[in-house]
Every structure is written in C-alpha cells, then in structure tokens.
Amino acid sequence: MADIRAGILGTGHSYPEGILTNADLEKMVETSDDWITSRTGIKQRRKAAPGEYTSLFAVKAARQAIERAGLEPADIDLILCATVTPDQILPSTGCIIQAELGANKAAAMDLVAACSGFLYGLTVADTMIQTGKSKHALVIGAEILTQYVDYTDRQTCILFGDGAGAAVLGAVENSHGILASRIRSDGRYEEQLFSPGGGTRRPASAETLAAGDHFFKMKGNELFKVAVRSMAEISREVLEEAGLTADDVKLFIPHQANQRITDAVASKLNVDTERVYSNIAMHGNTSSASIPIGLDECVEAGKIQKDDIVLLASFGGGVTWGAVLIRW
C-alpha cells in the first residue's frame, strides 16, 4: 500500500438556523459585545432549538460529503463520529448516523477527544485506508455544545456554538492526500477544561444538577498558554515529517477556539494572516466540528485548489491536540 495515501474526497457541513448574538448575551449575563469581541473574536454563534440533537446535523453534513465524493452511503465502510455531546450514552451517535444514512456495510463508532476529535478521526481513517482495512471512511465532527453551557458563567457561555462538519476519505495518488498527521494528549491537564458530572465517577442526580456539574468548566488563562505552545509544536512536527516548511502552506485552518489563540499560533509558525482561515466571529467554538466546518467553507469558497498544502491543527479538553498536513 506504499503507493497510495488517504485523501479527502468530499466535505460537508450543517448547523442550526438559530443564532445567539453578543447582543443577546448582554441580556442574559453581565457582559458586552466589546468585552466578548476583544477577548475571543466572537460576534455570534449557532444555537440548536429544543428538540434538535447532534446526529441531526451530523447526518446532513455527512450526506453532503458523500454526495460530493461521488459515492453512495453503501460505499462507506467506516464511520467515525467525533463528539463530546452524543445523542445518548448508548448506542453511539456513530451507529445512529449509520442507520439514518443507510450505510449498512459500515463499522461505526464515536471518538471522544474534544476539540481535537476530527483530527483524531482523520488520523485513524488515514491508517485504516493505508493498511487496506477500509476503502471509504466518513469522519464527522458534530456538537450541540449549547446544551452544556452555564449561561450565568460569562467566562464560558460566550464561547460555544453548535454544528457539524464531515469529510469522506479514500485512496488518492501518492503525492496527494494526508502527508503527515500527529495526535497527542496529556490527562494531567484534565481540570483545565472539563464537565465533571454525569459519568460513573459523579453520576447524575438532583445534587449534581443543582451544582451545575454537567456544565463545562474552564481555566482559560492557563489553557491559552498550553494551547498555543502545543499547536505550534505539533504543526512544526508534521511539516518536518513531510519535508516542508510554513512557507509551503497555502492555507492554515486551526481549531476555532479563540481568535487570540489563532493569531498567536500563526505568529509562532510565521504563517501570514492572509493564509489563516478564521470563522470564529460567526460560529464561536464548535469543538470537534470547527475544523471540518471551516474546511468545507473553504472548499465551497474556492480557497483550496488542487496541489495546495493545507495545514489543520487543534487543541481541546483532555487535554488533546493534533495536526494534519494535506496536499489537496
């Protein structure tokens, strides 16, 4: 299998119609548009309506990606759904997506790696395709984060939005596709970004709900430094592995966590602003969905052309981080 690589054959994305603006948040919590924009770069975020759930948007994004790849659901043999907001505990959201798509030949599972989930999924799919274990893999990042947001905590409620993005992978010419990928984690930073309630350590109860243990908790200042350092270092690693430099990168799509993080990572890598994609102003932080949404937006806008070098990098709770380098 040395003469093939895994490449992205089609992309798609979907998000709710509901929009939560900074002006809306000003009516809910002590904050302001200036405060939010200056610290995060976010102006609005998509918010699911009651009754809307993660797989609903995942399936829409997946259908689009499969169609653009020129395939049918029956052609997919692996489905990886990256999410920290599954439809339910059992079965996996991946299996729910599989049934809805009619991809009856596919193995399906969820990956839990927070904001790095999509890149974890790309790395697993790449390995499966290169080894011949999979022919066409569907990788999805999908989240309904607003259901886990404490709208009395102005540090976190301003950040998160909802949506889904997807990519279909298959074998491509050896000089194209995924040139290098790396994923990492460090559980010692668990409490930098976590949701303590609802699992077997702290089962859901009236007490945990009253305490807000199911909401996201974050230590933003500490997380910022670790995120910038980790994303920059792992991006250099994949560039070095591929024998390339930052000057070769046509487009850098980082996880949309915070505009200041994006700017700091780009600066450390010496990637010019015009080669860095940012949609955080319109979507906020959509965790595992942020990179595939951004990737599909770039494809739709014609920002990515054949032979372009595209760098993806992410950092998330766990903590986890990763980078994937692609020749389109």
Return the pLDDT at 221.
80
Which of the residues 136, 283, 285, 298 is marked catalytic?
285
CB atoms within 10 A of CB 191: 12
Cα→Cα distances 249→119, 276, 328, Å: 18, 10, 11
pLDDT in tens, 192-235: 999 999 999 999 999 999 999 999 999 878 889 999 999 999 99
Annotation says 285 is catalytic? yes
pLDDT in tens, 271-322: 999 999 999 999 999 999 999 999 999 999 999 999 999 999 999 999 999 9
Return the pLDDT at 174.
78
Residues 6+ apart with CB under 8 A from 241: 179, 180, 182, 325
Domain spans of the chain? 4-175, 179-327
CATH topology for 179-327? Peroxisomal Thiolase; Chain A, domain 1 (3.40.47)
Which of the residues 13, 22, 81, 115 is marked catalytic?
115
Through-space distance between the first and last CA atoms of the chain, rounded to whole angstroms: 19
Q: And the tokens for 243?
A: 């024998």
Which of the residues 95, 255, 283, 298 is marked catalytic?
255
Judged by DSSP in three states, 53 sits in coil
Annotation says 115 is catalytic? yes
Do the first three CATH levels of 4-175 and 179-327 match, i.e. the same topology? yes
* Global confidence as pTM: 0.97
The overall average pLDDT reported for the chain is 96
**pLDDT classification of 1: cutoffs 50, 70, 90:** very low
- The angle formed by the CA atoms of residues 106, 287 and 7, to the nearest 5 degrees, is 45
- Domain range 4-175, its CATH number among 3.40.50.300, 3.40.47.10, 3.40.50.2300, 2.20.140.10: 3.40.47.10
Q: And the tokens for 174?
A: 């050896």
**pLDDT classification of 173: cutoffs 50, 70, 90:** confident
Annotation says 104 is catalytic? no
Percentage, residues of the chain above pLDDT 70: 99
Beta partners for residue 160, in sequence order? 285
In Å, how far from its chain's centre is CA 328? 19
Q: Is the N-terminal amide bond of 91 cis, ω within 30° of 0?
A: yes
Q: How far apart are CA 61 and CA 275, in angstroms?
A: 25
Check: CB of residue 293 under 8 Å from CB of residue 163: yes
